[in-house]
Structure 1
């Protein structure tokens, strides 16, 4: 009886797989934050400060040089589009060479390539969303922005952009591993995505023939969802939420297959 009881208590003290995975993610996040931002000056606050500076400059330029987009104020219009695009750009661009840069961590059996990619996704998305919240609050106080009309849709748009970016990052990290030639295409692709993403224009402004073609671009639907959450007069006809989820789910499956194949190729 006593032996059985002690054996059971030992099993209860063993951490679960979920708690172990959370501990791994937390440790990797601290390592990533320290390696990227350090502890000097404002330290980890650069996580928010860096995208805030970029978004402030772009949004201010559009505020003074642009007009309202069908009742949508230029400052929040640009702010929502740019902050969400920074999520994509940061996750997508940092995927190239991400696993190689963390190859020393693979000595630990608990650390997998997908953990590295997940941590980068969390850090980039949290920093950009926090920047969006802070800058939007400042705009509201200055009277150049209004509180989001449908905040859940705004957060849904940010979530879909993050999911889309994470799925693509798994593929990019796997394809570019050990191939610097392929890695050189990553940044140019992100530049081409700027005019095609729908971050700075709406579907309702496009001619009908271009509109039908751009409807196949899931990023456009994601930004339309975010704008529908921010603005009262935004159009809800081009969100295609079911299409977004389907595309992201399929890309995630492909990315998981790629990253699992990559894990078998890594020798530590």
Structure 2
């Protein structure tokens, strides 16, 4: 068979697979390195930093529980103020933390972004993954502790719980990406955002459930995607509660649209944002 040349691999086929694998490995290593850097800078090298990550949301839950237990006989759902406020606050806290940390990803990693091996997408990914993992772990620890403390039977529905936290993470990512653009291009937006964000705590179903609100407030606040998220979270911990107002596609749609918009804007303007920061 000397007259026939040996078959050859099409040019670039093997190298394409190798190149993709190399880029994926490099991306993973870069993201992990950025995560370790933030862990060291934010939480320090001692366990005390991580204790504070748990104590901060716990303090807010205790404050709400003690304060409202003085003026109310029972919470809107169930018999435990701790459980009721925790189920609404923890998904909201995940959203809020991601919206803030993802929004400041580029200034936070500005020095490292001068290296060709580190991209703006690496910085965004590292902050999103680290803060999501941290808040989910904190939420798990707090919920387990609360369920042990209240010592009352609770029928958990994991579908609504997972949905609520996943939507909170997606929405936080989307808002954070858009904030990353606006913080860099319109510096005055950062204080404006902080002011606008404060009423969300009262309007997201943490203190009052949707059914307890006046009709006018229901008509207005239904458009808040966080209200749908906390409604699903409450459903997961209170078997008797079925939030008929919740539309699952609504918070998902908000999260996907904002994430896509933020990524497109960052791809175009990330260099200008770094210059302004």
Conserved? CA contact 1:51–1:127, under 8 Å: no
Shift of 1:71: 3.4
Residue matched to 1:175: 182
Quick one: distance in 1 between partners of 2:160 and 2:265?
A: 31
Conserved? CA contact 2:54–2:142, under 8 Å: no
Shift of 1:12: 5.4
List per-residue Cα deviations over 1:138-186 (Å, max 9, x = no partner).
2222235654521221121011011101101011111111543222223
Pairing 1:113–2:120 present = yes
Shift of 1:15: 4.1
Shift of 1:68: 2.6
Shift of 1:125: 2.7
Conserved? CA contact 1:48–1:130, under 8 Å: no
Classify 1:233/1:185 alpha carbon distance in 2 versus 1 (closer, same or farther; 3 Å). Answer: same
SS of structure 1 residue aligned to 2:202: helix
Classify 1:31/1:60 alpha carbon distance in 2 versus 1 (closer, same or farther; 3 Å). Answer: farther
Classify 1:234/1:171 alpha carbon distance in 2 versus 1 (closer, same or farther; 3 Å). Answer: same
Quick one: distance in 1 between partners of 2:71 and 2:155?
A: 23
Conserved? CA contact 1:160–1:244, under 8 Å: yes
Residue matched to 2:43: 37
Select 1:195's aligned residue among 193, 197, 202: 202
Residue matched to 1:71: 78
Conserved? CA contact 2:228–2:248, under 8 Å: yes
Quick one: distance in 2 between partners of 1:229 and 1:208?
A: 25
Shift of 1:254: 0.9
What is the TM-score when the length of structure 1 is the normalising length? 0.84
From the CA coordinates, give the structure whose radius of gyration is larger.
Answer: 2
Q: Once superposed, what is the RMSD of the aligned Cα atoms?
A: 3.0
Shift of 1:243: 1.8
Name the count of aligned residue pairs. 265
After superposition, residues 1-268 of structure 1 pair within 5 angstroms as: 15-62=21-68, 66=72, 67-71=74-78, 73-143=80-150, 146-147=153-154, 149-177=156-184, 179-265=186-272
Conserved? CA contact 1:75–1:144, under 8 Å: no
The more displaced of 134-143 and 158-167 is: 134-143
Long gaps (5+) in structure 2: 1-5
The more displaced of 94-103 and 151-160 is: 94-103
Shift of 1:98: 3.1
Classify 1:241/1:267 alpha carbon distance in 2 versus 1 (closer, same or farther; 3 Å). Answer: closer
What is the TM-score when the length of structure 2 is the normalising length? 0.82
Conserved? CA contact 1:118–1:166, under 8 Å: no
Conserved? CA contact 2:42–2:49, under 8 Å: no
SS of structure 2 residue aligned to 1:236: coil
Quick one: distance in 2 between partners of 1:49 and 1:209?
A: 36
